[in-house]
Chain A
Amino acid sequence: MNFDMSPYGAYIWPAYAISALALIGTTAWTLAAWRRAKARLEALEKPARGKP
């Protein structure tokens, strides 16, 4: 693999860094929202399940 970007490193690395940051950040944010929604629903369903 060749990581020598000269003389265009100032354009290539930011393009990759911004893309990686945005996509990884969105993935993390999406998964966190899913976990929050799941935990909230479970908390709401728990008392309902415990009812006689």
Chain B
Amino acid sequence: MNWLFRYANPHEFMRLSGMVLPFAAIGAALCVLAALYLGFSAPSDYQQGRTVLILYIHVPAAIMAMTVYGALAVCSLLSLVWRHPLSDTAARAAAPLGALFTALGLITGSLWGKPMWGTYWVWDARLTSFLLLLFLYFGYMALWNAIEDETRAARAAAILALVGAVNIPIIKFSVNWWNTLHQGESIMSGEVAPIFLAPLLLMMAGYGLLFLTLWMVRIRTAILERRARNLMQAGP
């Protein structure tokens, strides 16, 4: 774990993230632009028509919603076990981004569901557990803001994040465990044609790099704000 603590040091983090940030930001932009070009150039799906275009924004948002929660849970575990303040900062910085991806997954899924299923919403296991993920993010952020003492807030929020992590495998396997309207897993099973898979994978990489960029900027912002608070408390 020593390597982790070395890079979890705020000073080291600022140095390292400063080097990685431009590459992540440029990579995100390039991946998204390439995905849009390939996606809009691809032919219509024989069953779904042009609505297949929603695949390129719905799936990456949904995958990022769960990935970000995974990152938040790992940071929370590190915070609870090793009490490292940067873990709390990282977890707190990830939460609004995770909530954003979850909301986008729900909205784009709903806009895809209407023409394909005939309804914007059904209370099936996948959709309901995904909605619960959005509430978990909201609860996590609300808990941070509700408790004034930062150490206690971090501890309570970390416990909530870890308990809520149970929902991630439920979302993932809901389509296997229950009879749902939502389709089953199709990327890993090779059911997506290469002409649709290429823009999808590029968009997933773009969303991932965009999250990494925004996450690092948010952590860096929190570190600067903490330094400013410490200077204010130290007085003139």
- Residues of chain A at the chain B interface (Cβ within 8 Å): 1-8, 11-12, 14-16, 18-19, 22-23, 26-27, 30-31, 33-34, 37-38, 40-41, 44-45, 47-48
Contacts and interface: CB of A to CB of B under 8 A. Distances in A.
A26 B51 contact: no
Say which size band chain B's interface belongs to.
35 or more
Given A1-B41, A11-B114, A44-B228, A18 B107 contact: yes
A13 to B, nearest CB: 9
For chain B, what secondary structure do more than half of its interface residues adopt (helix, strand, loop), or is it mixed?
A: helix
Given A5-B50, A34-B221, A15 B107 contact: yes
B92 interface: no
Contact of B224 (A5, A11, A16, A37): A37
For chain A, what secondary structure do more than half of its interface residues adopt (helix, strand, loop), or is it mixed?
A: helix
Given A27-B210, A33-B221, A34-B220, 10 more contacts: A1-B37, A4-B50, A11-B51, A16-B53, A18-B104, A22-B104, A23-B104, A34-B224, A44-B231, A45-B231
B224 A30 contact: no
B40 interface: yes
Interface string B83-125: 0000000000000110010011001100110110000000000
Given A15-B57, A22-B104, A8 B224 contact: no
A35 to B, nearest CB: 9
A19 B57 contact: yes
Contacts of A40: 224-225, 228
B227 A41 contact: yes
Contacts of A34: 217, 220-221, 224
Given A5-B53, A44-B231, A15 B220 contact: no
A11 B50 CA distance: 10
A38 B100 CA distance: 25
Interface in B15-43: 37, 40-41, 43
